[in-house]
Amino acid sequence: MLGTMMAARLHEVGGKFTVDEIPLPEVGEHDVLIKTAACGVIPNLRNVVSSFPEWYPFLPLPELPAVFGLDAAGTVVSVGRSVKDFKEGDRVYVNPGLSCGGCKQCLAGVPTRCASYTFMGYFGFSPSSIEVFREYRHAGYAQYLRAPARNLVILAEDLPFAAATRLGYLGTAYSALKKLELTPGKSLLVLGASGTLGIGATIAALAMGVTDIIVAARDRAALDRLYQLDPKRIRPLEITSNDLNSAIRALAPLGVDAIVDTLGAKAPAELSVSAMNAATSGGKIVQIGGVSGPIPIDPHPFMCTQLQYIGSLWFTTAEAQELMALIRAGLLDINQWAPRPYALDQLNQALEDIQDNASGFLNYHIVHD
């Protein structure tokens, strides 16, 4: 396809996005070209484009000017000659987690462990991400984007594109919950349950059949809303101090079997440590929020009570397909988030607004004409 498209690009770290006219991407042999319908806006994007080079110089950004945009959904308009599973007109979600596709980790079905793993339209995890960014330059804040066919998920027929932009949060939570290996009768603590990631973890846990879910957060109104999702399975816990261990054991005297920690970088690490102490013998703690650390771990009680502390990064496309199966079956309700749509030229305003009101129940996203 020859022609041009409009894209919001960042020209300098700490600067504003500008809408530019740029060439349409060319489709590679194993790639798909997608007309973008919607793309998510997340609070951390502001940090990524203004502070990551200083805070985390080991996490590279794409070369500027660059098109950002995590969690895009749209319609297939063209496919590479070796693509067999997608066709023009398919409605798809683009998993932005790019990997090389050929290393032992990718071939083993764990591309998130690939040495080249990179978030398209966001940031990378190693120097080799620079080459990945050069190959896939266009993300969700462009009218069209090119992505490997292996990163696409067919959307449920009745799932709006705007709702699909929450699949990144849901997928991250779902992958973490799978690592906890929960079975009926086991208890789960969702720490930071009022944020978008915590809400995703709660509704994913409900869809997966978890029977005892303690949702912990400071926002009482959000906790009440989560409780109403399933009063038989959800128990709210309002955080009023950093002594979460005592508060959790007031609800679960023997401790909880599993913890998914969704607290973000602004939360005190003391909350995570105190909650971790409430895990029962053999319990598992999975970290997906990136709480401000470090997290001290005393090896002796971990050894004696056989605890596990697990880091979980994003999710695989296969896991996203599992999520879509839950949505199609009516087991997972993705419509918990109220839409907050913005046009492409309003991206800077969206980033301002989300800082002022980052309610976990709001879905900030860019919509394309």
pLDDT digit string (tens) for 345-362?
Answer: 999 999 999 999 989 999
Instruction: Say if residues 284 and 262 touch (Cβ distance below 8 Å).
Output: no
Position 117, amino acid: Y
- Would you state the pLDDT for residue 207? 97
Average pLDDT, the chain: 95
What Cα–Cα distance (Å) separates residue 227 from each residue in 213, 241, 330, 358? 10, 21, 19, 20
pLDDT digits (tens, 9 = 90+) for 273-310: 999 999 999 999 999 998 877 899 999 989 999 999 99
Q: Where in the chain is the domain with CATH 3.40.50.720?
A: 170-311
Check whether 64 has a pLDDT greater than 60. yes
Check whether 14 has a pLDDT greater than 80. yes
Instruction: Retrieve residue 25's tokens.
Output: 């991407």
**pTM (two decimals):** 0.95
Position 71, amino acid: D
- Would you state the pLDDT for residue 248? 97
Average pLDDT, integer, range 46-74: 95
Vertex 321 angle, CA 315 and 323, to 5°: 75
- Would you state the pLDDT for residue 1? 56
Average pLDDT, integer, range 254-279: 94
pLDDT digits (tens, 9 = 90+) for 214-227: 999 999 999 999 99
Average pLDDT, integer, range 98-110: 95
Q: Where in the chain is the domain with CATH 3.90.180.10?
A: 4-166+337-367
* Of 301 and 21, the one with more pLDDT: 21
SS3 (DSSP) at 149: helix
4-166+337-367 domain in CATH 3.90.180.10?
yes
How far the first Cα of the chain sits from its last, in Å, is 19
Average pLDDT, integer, range 193-210: 97
- Would you state the pLDDT for residue 265? 80
% of the chain surpassing 90 pLDDT: 93
Alpha carbon distance 43, 89 (integer Å)? 31
Average pLDDT, integer, range 233-252: 96
Check whether 45 has a pLDDT greater than 80. yes
Alpha carbon distance 29, 221 (integer Å)? 50
- Using pLDDT thresholds of 50, 70 and 90, give the confidence band for residue 2: confident
Alpha carbon distance 218, 236 (integer Å)? 10
In 3D, which of 217, 197, 166, 146 has the Cα closest to residue 320?
Answer: 166
pLDDT digits (tens, 9 = 90+) for 127-153: 999 999 999 999 999 999 999 999 999
- Fold classification of 170-311 is Rossmann fold (3.40.50)
Alpha carbon distance 262, 274 (integer Å)? 14
Vertex 29 angle, CA 157 and 153, to 5°: 20
What Cα–Cα distance (Å) separates residue 130 from each residue in 13, 37, 272? 16, 27, 33
